[in-house]
Amino acid sequence: MVENNRVRVRFAPSPTGHLHIGSARTALFNWLFARHNEGDFLLRIEDTDRSRSTLLFEKSIIEQLAWLGLNWDEGPDIGGGYGPYRQSERGELYRAKADDLLRKGLAYNCFCTPDELEESREKQLAAGRPPRYEGTCRDISQAQIERFLAEGRKPTLRFRMPEKKITVSDVLHGEVEFDGSEVGDFIIQRSDGGAGFHFAVVVDDGEMEITHVIRGNDHLPNSVRHVPLFEALGYRAPLFAHFGLIVGEDGAKLSKRHGAVSVFEYREAGYLPEALNNYLALLGWTPPSGEILGLEEVADAFELEKVNKSPVTFERSRLDWFNGRHLRATPPDQVARLAIPFLERAGLPVDDFELVVKAVDAARENSILLVDIPTYARIFLGPFEVQEEAKEELAKGYVPQVLDAFRSLVVATDELDLEGAEGVLASMRESFKPLGIRGRELFHPMRVALTGQNVGPDLIRTIVLLGKDEVFQRLSRSYDLANELLSEESED
């Protein structure tokens, strides 16, 4: 038994695919609520759909939750006092609970065939009525039951929905009323003996003493089935909180056509877990102050009652903004470790970790995602080469004079540290002012000459990180290239 009033929440994904970004937000809200209230966060795997559930996707979901930093207190990998935490391992419990409802007359055997059910459904739709089970087997006699069994029919087990008003207590929606008579009796045990979705969920929540069920609005209609089931099984119903779903910028439910939808895809694209958590937390909830927050800061401030019950729009550009901010706020060595797989994919050496940290630290100033970092880190880690699109900057008549002066100042400077680099650039600025060469005209060719690119890190930082010898070598090569380009132009 848990302590009185101790909060217990769960995230219960089905392992039929990678962790969806909407499901990650559900997990996050549950985690934040648990941590804010010093309660328990459970991970439960809902794998009753054996045809689609796989251990591969279960492993993926666990890995992505761990990557996000949403640690759990009980789960399939660490155990706990309320296990097992996979529905596929809880069959005996479900069957015992179903048998108990059958004995009490709260459930009954249904022998309707799929064809009969489909025919009934079509008739209801044709008559303009919402389809539901019409209770065909609700009150059949024992003789009829025995006849069906003799024919070899395998029954399902249906729950007798109470034909009355059912009230769902919801933190965000208040008291929501449903008419139980409009729902229809639903299957709690399939003909193969497996538990139905709604039944397994309620048994698990009851047995695991879940105090709050926090999930998207698409599950609110399910609550009309769950509340009477909790009562019939003798459990105290949890308090519900159904929040607004994530939609695309076109207002439609978030799907593949809006781009990446799984946490795995965002991770592969180079987003940071801190940024993803920060952005998802603010989709439908507003912190009392500030926007750039760490996970613990969000947990401290999180108030479930202030989560929005209306749909929220997912904006990739907004997530990018959060990622850029977190990328620049994270300690350089941590960013370097996260960037190493991306650097390796780009064919850049990573054996000198100290150099990698410096290169990544410089590169992240121009980067939004980790996948962007190799473009700029290449300046310091890869071989020097002037990109084709940057050569135009060197093919200007005054550039050889600029590069030659730049090279001479580098040679004359004892130490090309921060002070030395600043001195070189100040001298360049003063030397070329009388010639009317200033600003971008002066400094952009210098940048291209050192980086080989039109865009790159701060010039002073680049000079210091490259070092005197490498700066001299690159200026010399770029000086020669500038002359070659001018010579080719004159020949044309």
pLDDT in 10s for each residue of the chain, 492 residues: 445 689 999 999 999 999 999 999 999 999 999 999 999 999 999 998 877 888 999 999 999 999 999 999 999 999 999 999 999 999 999 999 999 999 999 999 999 999 999 999 999 999 988 899 999 999 999 999 999 999 999 999 999 999 999 999 999 999 999 999 899 999 999 999 999 999 999 999 999 999 999 999 999 999 999 999 999 999 999 999 999 999 998 888 877 666 668 999 999 999 999 999 999 999 999 999 889 999 999 999 999 999 999 999 999 999 999 999 999 999 999 999 999 999 999 999 999 999 999 999 999 999 999 999 999 999 999 999 999 999 999 999 999 999 999 999 999 999 999 999 999 999 999 999 999 999 999 999 999 999 999 999 999 999 999 999 999 999 999 999 999 999 987 775
* Rounded Cα–Cα distance for residues 117 and 212 (Å): 35
Phi, psi of 249, deg, nearest 5: -70, -15
Candidates 404, 350, 351; CA nearest to 378 is: 350
Query: Which tens digit of pLDDT belongs to each residue from 190-207?
Result: 999 999 999 999 999 999
Classified by CATH at the fold level, domain 388-491 comes out as Arc Repressor Mutant, subunit A (1.10.10)
Under CATH, domain 8-86+246-313 is a member of which superfamily?
Answer: HUPs (3.40.50.620)
The domain defined by 90-243 folds into Rossmann fold (3.40.50)
Residues with Cβ within 8 Å of 188's Cβ and at least 6 positions away in sequence, in order, are 98, 101, 107, 157, 158, 159, 195, 196, 198, 199, 229
Domain(s) labelled CATH 1.10.8 in the chain stretch across 331-381
Range list for CATH 3.40.50.620 in the chain: 8-86+246-313, 90-243
CATH code 1.10.8 for 331-381:
yes
| Structure confidence at residue 257 (pLDDT) | 66
Which pLDDT does position 81 carry in this prediction?
96
Q: Which residues are part of the catalytic machinery?
A: 256
